Every structure is written in C-alpha cells, then in structure tokens.
A and B are shown apart, each in its own frame.
Chain A
Amino acid sequence: MVDLSTRYMGLPLEHPLVASAGPLTKELDGIKRLEDGGAAAIVMFSLFEEQIRHEAAAAEHLSEVGSESFAESLSYFPSIGGFQVGPERYLELVRRARESVGVPIIASLNGSSDDGWVEYARLLCQAGAAAIELNVYFVPADPSLTGANVEQRYLDILGAVRSEVPVPVAIKLGPFFSSFANMAKRLDDAGADGLVLFNRFYQPDFDLERREVVPALELSTPREARLPLLWLGVLHGQLRASLAASTGVESPVEVVKYLLAGADVVMTTSSLLRHGAGHLAELRAGLETWLSAHDYASVAQARGSMSHRKVSDPTAFERGNYVRALESYDSRRPSR
C-alpha cells in the first residue's frame, strides 16, 4: 500500500487530488458527487463580489421599474419571502456543504473592492469554510499601472484578508509577473498559506461576422500543464506556503508530474467536466499504480523529486533547457 496522504495549508488530506473551483460546485448535489467521486478536498466556485453587487442592483431595479408610477399598478412583481440577491445563497451553500460532506470545503472569493475582500472572507469563514482561496483575476489594462502597482495589489489583498480570518488562506494567481518566483516569495512572506498555480486567463475571442468581442471558454489540455510544472519545480522547497498545481490535468500522467515537480496537491476541473466526478477515483488509482510500480512508498517520498531544488541556479537550469529545446527541434528535422 502506498501512502497517498498529504497536507495542504495544514489540512491533512487523504490523498492529493482536489477538485478546483468550477461549475460542479454550484449545487450541493455536485459537491456531494465530487466527494463521492473521490475528491480529497473541494474548492467551491468563486463568490464574485462584483457580480453580486451588479445582480443585487439589477434585481432591485428591475423589480421596481415602473412601480408607484401608475395608479392601477403600484408594482409589477410579487414580493417573495426568501428572495435575496447577495452572498446569502453562496454562504448557505457553504453551510450546507460543510454539513453534508466530510472533506474540507475551501471557499473561493473574487472580490472587487477593498472592503469586499475582507467582509466576504469573514462571512465565508463564519459559514464554515475550512480555508479560503483568493481568486485574484485581474487584467491590468490601464497603461498607467506599473508592474509594482499590480504586485502591491495582490499583496494588499492577501494581507488584508490574512489578518482578518482565522483559517488558512491560499491565493490563486496567473503566471504573468516579470519575476514570478519573487512574487511568490513575497506572497509567502505576506502570510499566504497556499499558492495555486495557475489561474487560467480566459482570453476573449472576436466574432468576425458580428464584429463583437465574445467570451471564449475552452477546457484545458495536458499541454498547458507545462507552465505550472516549470514554476512548481522552481518554487518547491523555497517557500513556507503549500503549493497547489492547477491546469491541464487529464490523466494520472499529469498528476504524477505535478507531484514530482513539488506540488502538495493537484487540482482539476476540466477533466471532471469532461469525464464526470468519478474521474477523480481513476486519477487516484493511476497515481497509486504509478507510485507502486516505481517503488515509491508514499506521495511524500515522491514529492519534489524532480524539482529544481538541488540545482543551485535554477535560471541556469532553465537557460540550459531552453537551448536544448531549440536544438532538439533542429535534430528532429530530416537532414537534407
């Protein structure tokens, strides 16, 4: 028997496979299916502060348009008990998930205002979240914003939430920083309990006929695992915070690679959307098979075994790899 157990931000987990934030967690039913399917922990879809504000404003506005302006109809909607647009539904879902599943529930938060991040994080804790994942999805489109400003923003958000909530706090971020390792280090110093590498940025597409910008969401492919793999390998052993791998898991192959690079947990959403929650059990079985076939006694033993930790200058390592990659392409081409 291989020991699959791991720890993520201090939370003991039976094995490293975690369901990342995605649509399956929008209903209690889906959360239960993820547990039954074999998730060691579940990250809920994000609570979007901006969306809540927007929806609350829209609902209030729409339910009152035309009201009290015409004697025959003082309103156009019935008043319904329990009709609230706010974080209440999300909080209720956290509460019910907490009651009905045994694995840790990690709530995900995407704030839009300084107060919002803190206030909502507090509410999520009160509702019973075992940890909080900060989903900082931020596209710095303002040309006057410097890289340093952007980095500070991440640190501020983390700092504000960290000091207000008693549970572990992870931050999920994208790879687009000039010096990602430094950014990771500073987040670690600022008290991040976990780093989730990486958030996927959904680049919108153009509809050429209608000449409109349209949202484009495609599920990830295993090829996309390489970027997180690189940075997990670089960061493993250099931080206090736990590392979560996210993006591109489709089969046990990616799971094993991530662990060898140094991830504490491996997250997946796309593969579950493709194959259903039961796919988690297959990933776990595949991991176990690989580890035992290669004589590993535990996940802990394998973790980070292919990281760059032992290389004194990881950048030299990467430069070497770069040259090799280019050369390997040349050597593949038929000689003339």
Chain B
Amino acid sequence: MIDAGEVARRAGLGGRTNTIMQTCFFAISGVLPREAALAKIRGAIEKSYAVKGREVVRKNFEAVDLTLSSLARVPVPEAVTSRRYRLPLVGDHAPPFVREVTARMMAGRGDELPVSAFPVDGTYPSGTARWEKRGISRVVPVWEPDVCIQCGNCSLVCPHAVIRAKFYPDKRLEGAPAPWKSAPIDARGFPEIRYSLQVYVDDCTGCALCVEVCPARDKQDSSRRAINMAAKDPVVAAERENIQFFESLPWNDRSRVDFSTVRGAQFLEPLFEFSGACAGCGETPYLKLASQLFGDRMVTANATGCSSIYGGNLPTTPWAKNAAGRGPAWSNSLFEDNAEFGLGLRLAADAHLEQARGLALELQDLIGRELVAEILGAKQRLESELRAQRARVDELKKRLTARAGPRPLALLSVADHLVRRSVWIVGGDGWAYDIGAGGLDHVLASGRDVNVLVLDTEVYSNTGGQASKATPLAAVAKFSAGGKSTGKKDLALQAISYGDVYVARVAFGANPQQTLLALREAEAYPGPSLVIAYSHCIAHGINMQHGLSQQSLAVSSGYWPLLRYNPAARASGENPFSLDSGAPRTRFREYAYNELRYRMLQQASPTHAEELMKRAEEAVTRRWATYAEMAGRGG
C-alpha cells in the first residue's frame, strides 16, 4: 500500500502520481529485477523531464526514493471487519427518474437500461447534478456569521453555486438543528429577520474563490475572513444537517429581492448548479447569475464548447428548476450554427406568442375580456410585473381547462408564451469569434430580441487550448506556440458598429456590480444584445484561486476595459457608450506575466516575447484611447 498523493506532495510533485505508481509497480511486480527496473525508471525520468529543467528531474528522483521508503505491505485479514459503508449513489428522496435511470448511469451500468426508460420526446429531465454529491474536495469554506457583512460576493463568485443565502423570520429558528448558524439581517428596520449562508459542502470543489473575494476581516485576526477554508471531515456531518434545514426554508420572494445589487442577487435561487466544470472555472458564475436573474423563463441555445460539456454532460445536467417546476430550457447546437439555432428559438417563441395573442382575442368572451386585456397589455419588465403576468396566465389556463373544444385547447398549448421569454445564445470564444462568427454576425444584424453571452476564455478550452481569434497578442496557445503575433479581435466594437445592438464587456472578478447591471440591461433591451464575459480558465496557466485578482488586473491594466453600449440611451439624448472602468493604472505585463500562457514564451524565447509584449502594451494603450474618445462623445 502507498499513499501516493502524500508522497507526491512531499516530493513536490503536486498531484502527479505517475512516477510513484510506476515505481511501485516495478518494485513489487517482479517483471524486471528490482534494481534494473529502478535504474530504468531513473533513466526514463532523466530522458523525459530533462527538457523541463533540472528541478523537475530532481523532484522525480526524490519521488522514486520516497516511494521505495513509503511502500508498505498490508496483510489481508481473514474477514471483513470494517463498519463503514459507501453512501448510496443518490439519496432515497431523489425523483424516480434519477434513482432508476440517472443513478444507474452514474454507476457505470447505463448499458443495462432499456430504451423505454428514456423520455420519448427528446427532452431530458433537468436539475440532476444536485444528486451527484461528488465530494471532491477535502477542504470547504466555513462561514463566520459574526464577521460576515452579508455582501453576497462569495455566493456570486462561486462557480459551482455551492454558497446560497436566505433570509427568514427569526421564529423559524425554533426548528433549526443545533449546529445551525445565522445572524440578524444587516438591514435597518427588520429586527426579526435572520440571515443564513449555507455551504453545500459535498458539492464544493475547494477552489477558494469565495474566500478570496470575501471583504470582511475578523477584527481579532486579520488573516481570517468571514469565510475560511477548513478541513471538510470535521464539519461535514453538521453541514449536511444544516443543508436539510436550509432547504426547508422557502426561497425568498423574488419581488422582495433587490435585483440590482450583488447583495440582493444572493437571495435568488440559482437554476444552474453544481456543474462539473473545472474547480474555480471563470465561465460558470455568469451562467449561474443569468439563471438566478432570468432562469424561470430562460431558453438557452448553447454552442459546443466547455459550456455544452458541463452544461449537458450525461448523465446529469446542472441546469435546474425551481419548486414550481420552472427553469431554463436548454439545448446544445453545433459550433457553426448556434447563433442561428438561438434565433430559431426566438422566432418560434415569437410565432407562438402571436398565436397565443390571436387566440386569446378570439376567445376573449369565453375567457373574460378584462383578463385578456390585462394579459395582452401587460408590461413585463420588473419582477413584480412578471409575477402578476404569470398569475394571470395561470388563471387563463384554469379557465381554459374548464372548456372543451379545439380552440381553447390550442390556446392552452401556447399560453405559457404569454409570459415573456428570455432567449439566450451562449458559447465560448471559439464559437463566437471563430467558427460561429458568421452566424453570430447574422443574428446580431437581425434586430431580434436575443441575448448573446460569450464566455471568453481566449482559447478553445474544452478541446485543449487551441488559439482562437480571441487569443491575445503575445500569449501562447496550441497552434500558436510561438506566441500569438496578431491582436485579439474586438468583437465589441464590431457589434457596436451596428448601432442598434446592446453590447457589454464584463469581468465579474473585477466588478460584479457592472456584470449584474450589464446582464439585466442586455435582457431588458428589446433588440439583440451581446455580453462578452472575461472567463479565467485553466488554459491560462494560473492558480485558479487567483482568477479574480487576474480579472482585476486585466481591467486595471486597460487590457479588458469594462464597457456598455446601450442604444436605448440615445432616446434620452445620452451617449450610448459608457466606459465603466478607469484609465489604465497598472501595466499589462504585470497582469500577463502572472499567467503561464505568457510566461512560457518569456522563458523559451525572451527576446521574441519582449517584442510581442511591447506590441501588446501599445495595442492596449491605443485601444484605450479609442474607447476614451467614444465615451467622451455627446449623445
């Protein structure tokens, strides 16, 4: 037996155990004489790691020695004496489909399922990732209610929707389990309201972004924040109990929540949760936020890419539904046609809406003139208006169900479209800048009410980091191993040139409030909208825990200026272009050289790297001047 993870850590190999396992194999298998085998392993290490430098060779040699001294023989006992059992794959309270179909696939026994086990209409149940409880991290955040200022940052940045907040009347505390934590809500005039933050410990990936973003410090010990990473084992039982209680508290009434602030948004139920994206992924927080804001009426066309993989990875999907059964409808389409696919969803929704409106008018005597007039004339911008409309549509459906006949039935089948749909077209930069660019351009030029969210990691992430037209100057990527020598396409300016497309460039790690504002403005804008979202990614070669500070540096260096272009502003005589971040105050290289994708070139060919870096810095300055000029214009 060997604790290979521990040996790897001690030898300084991080999580890599290949050398260790190989050494174990040859040390005990007898395939080759032990000494000969070890000599061969050392030779192989020399050969394969020499290019990576002597440090790497040295560490691997050390790992071999450590392995040999840590390898222990375990006598196999006569009988099993352990009292510990594996947890069932999914809980007993999971829905039947999850227990019978999803869980079997999770167990690797999907081949045994009969075709009849699957839905017949091509749809697939959502909200299934929550049953996985992967438990992949040995450290999890622990909340300190006394230190917390209830800002909502941690919940916003968590890529896996693991941190959730609710407020509730203090009399609910009566049913709370012993380890339950809460604090009086930080709002004047509500002395009887409590606030609780819940960490779904079994779904946490241990990325620590939540800790990084927490602004509150313990007054007695400034190294501690209001949320801190700690070993999972000692807290897991208590937290499981807490989660159960947390789930018994209702989600806060959406019309009582302030959608316009990060503090408010934490109280919105995420309908994108527990995805299998990399720990600390920079893409998923945007999707989660969109799902909190618009999820219960969201329809998403998702281009192939990371977001389609973690978004719809059989057997589970992170896209979820609320207690009323409403949640985003989601489908994946190809790289080359996703924008068109999304436009199709819009056109279909519009056609259904037209049908519904026509039928409602036709049947108004039957339904009630007043109700029909209210439904057809409803403004549906604010959450309270949407809620009222939903109530009216429910009433309409109730009245229709009471009637027989083909026309009422026809209206019933499209009545849900009377509640405003939110159509989202989602994808990465490989889709938006490259392979789907023509289609995206076509859709942006259509004038239709679609919302495009580009999760920009600046490379094709899920196929392994190939360069796209979003890859920045001076960075290395596959197919651009000598450093990208041309600049990144300015997709924002391209879209702005239409004049009637809402455009925003955002980075949630630098300014979450601006991200929130942009997503809401984009959704409210009645024409095409494009939101380009900075997404830190493992393909940048960063410690993902520092993803947020890299976003801040990208913005403060002027590399990623935050902007919004809102054509609606023109109506009030204002300049539609607003620059939401200040003039560059740090150097681009300070940001870039924190990332392996830039540093690699600097190491491999310093002179060439410097040339590219200078050009990249010039490009940042030039572009800033263009933006500043645009922001300075009158309306």
Q: List chain A positions with a Cβ less than 8 A from chain B.
A: 27, 52-53, 56-66, 70, 72-89, 211-212
- CB <8 Å contact, B600 and A83: yes
- CB <8 Å contact, B600 and A86: no
- CB <8 Å contact, A53 and B12: yes
The verdict on A73 contacting B543 (CB below 8 Å), with A80-B481, A82-B605, A89-B603 known, is no
Say which residue of A53, A74, A77, A84 sits within 8 Å of B51 (CB atoms).
A84
B481: nearest residue on chain A (CB-CB)? A78
Most buried by B among A62, A66, A212: A62
* Residues of chain B with a CB closer than 8 A to A72's CB: 309, 462-464
Can you list, as one digit per residue, whether each of B206-238 has a CB less than 8 Å from chain A (1) or not (0)?
000000000001000010000000000000000
**How far is it, in angstroms, between the C-alpha of A83 and the C-alpha of B476 when the chains are bound?**
12
**How far is it, in angstroms, between the C-alpha of A53 and the C-alpha of B55 when the chains are bound?**
7
- CB <8 Å contact, A60 and B52: yes
* Residues of chain A with a CB closer than 8 A to B41's CB: none
Say which residue of B463, B479, B604 sits within 8 Å of A83 (CB atoms).
B604
Say which size band chain B's interface belongs to: 35 or more
The verdict on A73 contacting B463 (CB below 8 Å), with A56-B53, A66-B278, A66-B538 known, is yes
Say which residue of B54, B59, B481 sits within 8 Å of A57 (CB atoms).
B59
* Residues of chain B with a CB closer than 8 A to A74's CB: 464
* 28 A-B pairs in the complex with CB atoms less than 8 angstroms apart: A56-B55, A56-B56, A56-B59, A57-B55, A57-B59, A59-B596, A59-B603, A60-B14, A60-B52, A60-B56, A65-B278, A65-B538, A66-B538, A70-B462, A72-B462, A73-B462, A77-B465, A77-B539, A77-B541, A78-B465, A78-B480, A81-B604, A84-B53, A86-B54, A86-B56, A87-B54, A88-B54, A211-B217
* Residues of chain B with a CB closer than 8 A to A80's CB: 476, 481, 600-601, 604
* Residues of chain A with a CB closer than 8 A to B597's CB: 77
Q: Is B16 an interface residue (CB 8 A)?
A: yes
Min CB gap A109→B, angstroms: 16
Enumerate B1-44 residues with CB–CB distance to A below 8 Å.
12, 14-16
A66: nearest residue on chain B (CB-CB)? B538
* Residues of chain A with a CB closer than 8 A to B539's CB: 76-77
Most buried by A among B278, B465, B600: B600
Min CB gap A63→B, angstroms: 6
* Residues of chain B with a CB closer than 8 A to A61's CB: 14-16
A88: nearest residue on chain B (CB-CB)? B53
- CB <8 Å contact, B222 and A77: no
* Residues of chain A with a CB closer than 8 A to B217's CB: 211
Enumerate B542-598 residues with CB–CB distance to A below 8 Å.
542-543, 596-597
Min CB gap B77→A, angstroms: 34
Known: A59-B596, A80-B600, A80-B604; 11 extra A-B contacts, CB below 8 A, are A59-B603, A62-B541, A72-B463, A73-B462, A73-B465, A78-B477, A84-B53, A84-B604, A85-B55, A89-B606, A212-B222
Q: Is B240 an interface residue (CB 8 A)?
A: no
Min CB gap B503→A, angstroms: 29
* Residues of chain B with a CB closer than 8 A to A89's CB: 603, 606
Can you list, as one digit per residue, whether each of B82-105 has a CB less than 8 Å from chain A (1) or not (0)?
000000000000000000000000
Min CB gap A59→B, angstroms: 6
* Residues of chain B with a CB closer than 8 A to A59's CB: 541, 596, 599-600, 603
* Residues of chain B with a CB closer than 8 A to A79's CB: 481
Most buried by A among B55, B543, B596: B55
Min CB gap B163→A, angstroms: 22
Min CB gap B335→A, angstroms: 13
Q: Is B326 an interface residue (CB 8 A)?
A: no
* Residues of chain B with a CB closer than 8 A to A85's CB: 52-53, 55, 603
Say which residue of B222, B476, B479 sits within 8 Å of A211 (CB atoms).
B222
- CB <8 Å contact, B543 and A83: no
Can you list, as one digit per residue, whether each of B597-626 has a CB less than 8 Å from chain A (1) or not (0)?
101110111100000000000000000000
* Residues of chain A with a CB closer than 8 A to B481's CB: 78-80
* Residues of chain A with a CB closer than 8 A to B15's CB: 61
Q: Is B478 an interface residue (CB 8 A)?
A: yes
- CB <8 Å contact, A77 and B605: no
Min CB gap A31→B, angstroms: 14
* Residues of chain B with a CB closer than 8 A to A57's CB: 12, 14, 55, 59
* Residues of chain B with a CB closer than 8 A to A75's CB: 464-465
A49: nearest residue on chain B (CB-CB)? B55
The verdict on A76 contacting B465 (CB below 8 Å), with A62-B543, A65-B538, A83-B600 known, is yes
Min CB gap B548→A, angstroms: 14
**How far is it, in angstroms, between the C-alpha of A63 and the C-alpha of B541 when the chains are bound?**
6
B464: nearest residue on chain A (CB-CB)? A73
B544: nearest residue on chain A (CB-CB)? A65
Enumerate B134-180 residues with CB–CB distance to A below 8 Å.
none
Min CB gap A90→B, angstroms: 12
**How far is it, in angstroms, between the C-alpha of A76 and the C-alpha of B278 when the chains are bound?**
13
* Residues of chain A with a CB closer than 8 A to B599's CB: 59
- CB <8 Å contact, A63 and B596: yes
- CB <8 Å contact, A64 and B476: no
The verdict on A52 contacting B464 (CB below 8 Å), with A62-B542, A80-B601, A82-B603 known, is no
Say which residue of A64, A77, A83 sits within 8 Å of B603 (CB atoms).
A83
* Residues of chain B with a CB closer than 8 A to A56's CB: 52-53, 55-56, 59
* Residues of chain A with a CB closer than 8 A to B309's CB: 72
- CB <8 Å contact, A76 and B538: yes
**How far is it, in angstroms, between the C-alpha of A78 and the C-alpha of B543 when the chains are bound?**
18
Min CB gap B616→A, angstroms: 18
- CB <8 Å contact, A81 and B538: no
**How far is it, in angstroms, between the C-alpha of A211 and the C-alpha of B542 when the chains are bound?**
25
The verdict on A62 contacting B596 (CB below 8 Å), with A53-B55, A56-B56, A73-B465 known, is yes
**How far is it, in angstroms, between the C-alpha of A77 and the C-alpha of B483 when the chains are bound?**
12
B217: nearest residue on chain A (CB-CB)? A211
Min CB gap A256→B, angstroms: 38
4 closest Cβ pairs, A-B complex: A73-B464, A86-B53, A56-B55, A78-B481
**How far is it, in angstroms, between the C-alpha of A60 and the C-alpha of B606 when the chains are bound?**
19
Most buried by B among A53, A80, A81: A80
* Residues of chain A with a CB closer than 8 A to B59's CB: 56-57
Min CB gap B609→A, angstroms: 11
Min CB gap B530→A, angstroms: 27
**How far is it, in angstroms, between the C-alpha of A88 and the C-alpha of B222 when the chains are bound?**
39
- CB <8 Å contact, A52 and B538: no
Min CB gap B220→A, angstroms: 11
Min CB gap A188→B, angstroms: 33
* Residues of chain B with a CB closer than 8 A to A76's CB: 461, 464-465, 538-539, 541
Min CB gap A211→B, angstroms: 4
**How far is it, in angstroms, between the C-alpha of A52 and the C-alpha of B58 when the chains are bound?**
13
- CB <8 Å contact, B462 and A78: no
Min CB gap A198→B, angstroms: 30
**How far is it, in angstroms, between the C-alpha of A53 and the C-alpha of B56 when the chains are bound?**
9
B18: nearest residue on chain A (CB-CB)? A68
